[in-house]
Chains A and B, each alone.
Chain A
Amino acid sequence: MTGARDAILAAIRDARGDAVPTAPAPRSPLPARAQGTPEALVARFVEMALLAGATVSRAAGADGVPGAVAEYLSRGGLGGAVVLSPDPAVAGLDWDRAPRLTVHRGAGRDEMASAAATVTGAVCGVAETGTLMVCAGGPVANALHLLPEAHIAVLRASDIVGGYEAARARLGAELPRAVTFITGPSRTADIEKTPQIGVHGPRRLHIVLVDGA
């Protein structure tokens, strides 16, 4: 197999594809809609997230999150139980403030797969397309973002950035195994080009936007 590696690299060299770069690739322009004041970016994030089929509610501070989650579940007819991500930003919230809500911690895969809703954090929100950047790693399973019927993401308004480059800058040189840009619920147009929601990933994406946190 080293034979194949050498052969392929030699073929690339012969094809004039082996220069060592002296500069990075040319820069791509940052769209205007990825720029603006923090307030403008928050407003744009909400607008684009809604266009993409997510729902958004606001919570005043971290203490308001459990109530916002409970309200979303009851409005959506999703029952009274959620699976929490072990992320301290979620697990460490004061869930006693939503006493009628049953919270499950330490869920395994089967529980996540049958859950009506999971609650996870988000590293940041990207205003240009209403996109969440979530990471899995350590105790936070990637399946939390993928398996439930509804995925509820807790996002601080102060964590909203303009474009994907700004989001990437939050990750540093070493990436966790799974970084996912999530925009709206799971969808397809494979059947007669009819847009349909909820194929394999969650049928619903709800964002609880935390102000003043």
Chain B
Amino acid sequence: MEATSARFPANARAALGDADLRASLARLQREYRRDRAAVAARLPEFDALRDAAAAIKDHALDHLAFYLERFEERVIAQGGQVHWCRDGTEACEAVLAICRAEGATAVGKGKSMISEEIGLNAFLERNGIAPVETDLGEYIVQQRGEAPSHIVMPAIHLNVKQIADGFRAAHGALDPARALDGPDALLAEARTRLRDKFLSAEIGITGANFLVAETGSVVLVTNEGNGDLTHTLPRIHIALASIEKAVPTIDDAMALVRVLARSATAQEITSYTSLVTGPARAGDADGPRAFHVVLLDGGRSRLLGSERRAILRCIRCGACQSQCPVYGHVGGHAYGWVYAGPVGAVLTPALLGVPAAKHLPAASTFCGRCEEVCPVRIPLPALMRSWREEAFARRAGSATERALLKLWGAAVRRPALWRALVGPVSYVLAFCARRSGVYRALPLAGGWTGARDMPAPEGGSFVAAWARARKADAP
């Protein structure tokens, strides 16, 4: 997927002008906040479970090599294969090699963010294989030629009319005048179209929410049942996973499942949580005869050794996206790559580099809502700040910005100098706006006042006003 993260400011401005998008995002945030509060209230142990989930992930990361090797051992013992891939290119080629060895071209896909990261669909299409997304949200964006905009709800940026337009354009053989006037009609059409794909797919590609070392199992968490049909019906199952998905035991995976759905969709648990272990055994009535796990490093081992290791705890629930006020106004596509919102602001610079991604950690007010809802307690604002510091140190921003920040830094560290400068300026600003009380524009600050009014200051410094007030209060 071609990244446009470097154009985040322009992307965001365009998104702010999109009324349909703003309405869709407002609905997501309003309903998510309400629903998550409700599901958390029904489980008194929720916070303790989140602490435990963070501890389990940290333990798994501390012993990652051990658990990955154990996982591989178990997969092989069941008759499966594990393909280790350093980067997206190796991963795409591993998947293609499996398809070619099978002589298979009909591929069904369950949802996989790793497949987005490595650009798998486009790569397979260039090589004569057309994968069909079976997750409804992914299918909807695939029909529109778009990328998913949210980790868990890929089409949440769209309304019914937009989805219907996409279906009419893509399902050319159907009557163009048919009614597609509500979610039910759209769902019925998608269900019928995709049923055939499920039943005829030769290869099923899924992601993996967790890789369980104890048993060599892949855990798939879905609501639709598409992941289950994808790993059951075709003759080959390929599971794509990044290396940090490894956890020690089934019980550890289920402890993470307890916080995953509650954080992602505010459900107690999803409709289907599946433990998939190896290919079909001799005598099994269904299931694939070959099982492959494609393991991707893709920058994770580097993150593991860095001070930003905590981001590897992420279990891809998307709660930070659903809660973030910035994401809530501009949506996922503005971030320009696979991961948006706070998790994207921390992952993208790590995986694409600071020059391409520097705007993302800067697009935050550090309100901390993301950290409040993260089921594995990732300190997202602190990690975003660490990227801002690195960007500053690497001179990634403009020379003017750096110079102004240095100037401001020099003044603010010298309180007497600061007050001597700010006091008079503040009185001047107060005087000039004494009638309106507000500045709609300020020279040199157009970037700020272009979209905001600045209230006029009262005059003088806070410290001086504080001293006066204390003197007045003193007996």
Choose the segment among A72-80, A94-102, A183-191 that binds chain B (4+ C-beta atoms closer than 8 Å). A183-191
Whether A139 contacts B59 in the complex (CB less than 8 A), given A8-B297, A177-B276, comes out as: no
Whether A12 contacts B304 in the complex (CB less than 8 A), given A17-B64, A136-B284, comes out as: yes
8 Å CB interface, B22-43 against A = 24, 27-28, 31, 43
**Bound: A180/B225 CA distance, A:** 10
Q: Check B223 against A187 for contact (C-beta < 8 Å).
A: yes
Instruction: Map CB proximity to A onto B235-271 as digits: 1 under 8 Å, 0 otherwise.
Output: 0000000010001111110110110000001001111
The one of B183, B224, B302 in contact with A201, judged by C-beta atoms closer than 8 angstroms, is B224
Q: Check A190 against B156 for contact (C-beta < 8 Å).
A: yes
Minimal beta-carbon separation of B471 from chain A (angstroms): 54
Note all chain A residues with C-beta closer than 8 A to B276: 177-178
Asked if B305 is at the interface (CB within 8 A of a chain A CB), the reply is: yes
Q: Check B163 against A138 for contact (C-beta < 8 Å).
A: no
Query: Which A residues are closer than 8 A to B by beta carbons?
Result: 1, 4-5, 7-9, 11-21, 24-29, 31-33, 48, 51-52, 86, 109, 113, 128-129, 131, 136-143, 145-147, 164-165, 168, 171, 173-194, 196, 198-202
Minimal beta-carbon separation of B234 from chain A (angstroms): 12
The one of A26, A138, A175, A187 in contact with B55, judged by C-beta atoms closer than 8 angstroms, is A26
Minimal beta-carbon separation of A140 from chain B (angstroms): 6
Note all chain B residues with C-beta closer than 8 A to A198: 187, 191
Q: Check A19 against B63 for contact (C-beta < 8 Å).
A: yes
Asked if B409 is at the interface (CB within 8 A of a chain A CB), the reply is: no
Asked if B44 is at the interface (CB within 8 A of a chain A CB), the reply is: yes
User: Can you name the residue of chain B whose Cβ is closest to the Cβ of A205?
Assistant: B271
Note all chain A residues with C-beta closer than 8 A to B186: 191
Q: Check A8 against B86 for contact (C-beta < 8 Å).
A: yes
Whether A11 contacts B255 in the complex (CB less than 8 A), given A1-B84, A178-B232, comes out as: no
**Bound: A168/B83 CA distance, A:** 28
**Bound: A193/B271 CA distance, A:** 16
The one of B160, B254, B309 in contact with A191, judged by C-beta atoms closer than 8 angstroms, is B160
> What are some 26 contacts across the A-B interface (CB < 8 A)?
A1-B84, A8-B297, A12-B64, A12-B301, A20-B63, A25-B55, A25-B56, A25-B60, A28-B56, A29-B48, A109-B286, A136-B286, A142-B286, A175-B217, A177-B280, A177-B287, A178-B232, A179-B274, A181-B269, A183-B269, A188-B187, A190-B154, A190-B156, A193-B27, A196-B184, A201-B224
Q: Check A24 against B45 for contact (C-beta < 8 Å).
A: no
Q: Check B304 against A200 for contact (C-beta < 8 Å).
A: no
Asked if B62 is at the interface (CB within 8 A of a chain A CB), the reply is: yes
Whether A191 contacts B66 in the complex (CB less than 8 A), given A165-B254, A177-B280, comes out as: no
Minimal beta-carbon separation of A150 from chain B (angstroms): 13
Note all chain B residues with C-beta closer than 8 A to A32: 44-45
Note all chain B residues with C-beta closer than 8 A to A13: 65
**Bound: A16/B96 CA distance, A:** 33
**Bound: A140/B258 CA distance, A:** 28
Q: Given contacts A25-B55, A188-B137, list 7 more A-B pairs with CB under 8 A.
A: A14-B305, A15-B302, A15-B309, A17-B304, A28-B53, A188-B223, A199-B187
Minimal beta-carbon separation of A82 from chain B (angstroms): 17
User: Can you name the residue of chain B whose Cβ is closest to the Cβ of A21?
Assistant: B63
Minimal beta-carbon separation of A152 from chain B (angstroms): 16
Q: Count A-B contacts at CB 8 Å.
A: 271
Q: Check A201 against B228 for contact (C-beta < 8 Å).
A: yes
Q: Check A141 against B304 for contact (C-beta < 8 Å).
A: no
User: Can you name the residue of chain A whose Cβ is closest to the Cβ of B227?
Assistant: A200
Query: Which B residues are closer than 8 A to A by beta carbons?
Result: 24, 27-28, 31, 43-45, 48-49, 52-53, 55-56, 59-66, 68-69, 83-86, 90, 94, 134-137, 140, 153-156, 158-160, 163, 183-184, 186-187, 190-191, 194-195, 198-199, 215, 217, 223-226, 228-229, 231-233, 243, 247-252, 254-255, 257-258, 265, 268-281, 283-287, 295, 297, 301-302, 304-306, 309
**Bound: A52/B249 CA distance, A:** 27
Minimal beta-carbon separation of B30 from chain A (angstroms): 10
User: Can you name the residue of chain B whose Cβ is closest to the Cβ of A181?
Assistant: B273
Note all chain B residues with C-beta closer than 8 A to A14: 301, 305
Minimal beta-carbon separation of A84 from chain B (angstroms): 13
Note all chain A residues with C-beta closer than 8 A to B258: 28, 31, 164
Whether A175 contacts B84 in the complex (CB less than 8 A), given A18-B64, A21-B59, A26-B59, comes out as: no
Q: Check B301 against A17 for contact (C-beta < 8 Å).
A: yes
**Bound: A132/B27 CA distance, A:** 32
The one of B44, B251, B271, B285 in contact with A185, judged by C-beta atoms closer than 8 angstroms, is B271
**Bound: A11/B276 CA distance, A:** 28
Note all chain A residues with C-beta closer than 8 A to B265: 189
Whether A181 contacts B284 in the complex (CB less than 8 A), given A24-B248, A192-B27, comes out as: no
**Bound: A164/B270 CA distance, A:** 14
Whether A191 contacts B191 in the complex (CB less than 8 A), given A200-B134, A200-B229, comes out as: no
Q: Check A193 against B31 for contact (C-beta < 8 Å).
A: yes
Q: Check B268 against A9 for contact (C-beta < 8 Å).
A: no
User: Can you name the residue of chain B whose Cβ is closest to the Cβ of A138?
Assistant: B283
User: Can you name the residue of chain A whose Cβ is closest to the Cβ of B287?
Assistant: A177
**Bound: A123/B242 CA distance, A:** 31
Note all chain B residues with C-beta closer than 8 A to A199: 136, 187, 190-191, 223-226
**Bound: A7/B87 CA distance, A:** 11
User: Can you name the residue of chain A whose Cβ is closest to the Cβ of B283?
Assistant: A138
Whether A48 contacts B268 in the complex (CB less than 8 A), given A11-B301, A25-B252, A29-B52, comes out as: yes
Minimal beta-carbon separation of A115 from chain B (angstroms): 13
**Bound: A178/B309 CA distance, A:** 33
Minimal beta-carbon separation of A103 from chain B (angstroms): 18
The one of A16, A137, A193 in contact with B156, judged by C-beta atoms closer than 8 angstroms, is A193
